[in-house]
Amino acid sequence: MTLTTHGIAGALISGALIHQPLIGLPLAFASHFLLDAFPHRDYKILSLDESAAGSGVIVMNRGRNFTLDLMRIGFDGLLGLSIIWGLNSVVSPGSLYIVVLGGILGMAPDALQFVYGKYRFKFLAPIQSFHSHIHTDIRFKNSLLWGVGSQLLLVLVMSFFWWWYF
């Protein structure tokens, strides 16, 4: 699932519960795991050392592919935050900080997965274990239509719900 999709879901949840941030923000974080349980397409991390990844360790080889990965992941995250910012500033500008924080929390488990794989902080082990366990094994690797189309449809439905709800 892309960071954009995760971010919009987290923002929508935190926005819907804007007056109850102690409920909305944790649910925004939890939405990541729910979305990852559905079949989807992930983009390939070009600089990932596949031999190390098999043992749960994240090693990203520096070089051209690493730069491309940073650009793609950065663009994905910024696209999600831009959509969140744009939708929220038109609909409910007073709630911007909570909604953007919800979007960031919706994306956070993927960042935590990288941090755990790279540094092996023990306090992140339960989150990583749960993330790996709940993540679907069904990937739309060979179908751009299903892989990207399903996430685009999800983003459009969530965006429509956002406009309708707020």
Comparing 164 with 122, the larger pLDDT belongs to 122
Nearest-angstrom CA–CA distance, 25 and 11? 9
Sign of the CA dihedral running 55, 58, 62, 67: positive
- Confidence category of residue 86, pLDDT binned at 50, 70, 90: confident
Predicted local distance difference test score (pLDDT) of residue 7: 95
Residue 15 has pLDDT above 90, yes or no: no
Nearest-angstrom CA–CA distance, 39 and 61? 28
Residue 87 has pLDDT above 70, yes or no: yes
Number of structural domains (the chain) is 1
- Of 135, 107, 124, 106, the residue nearest 24 (C-alpha): 106
Comparing 77 with 156, the larger pLDDT belongs to 77
Residue 94, domain extent? 3-165
Comparing 42 with 102, the larger pLDDT belongs to 102
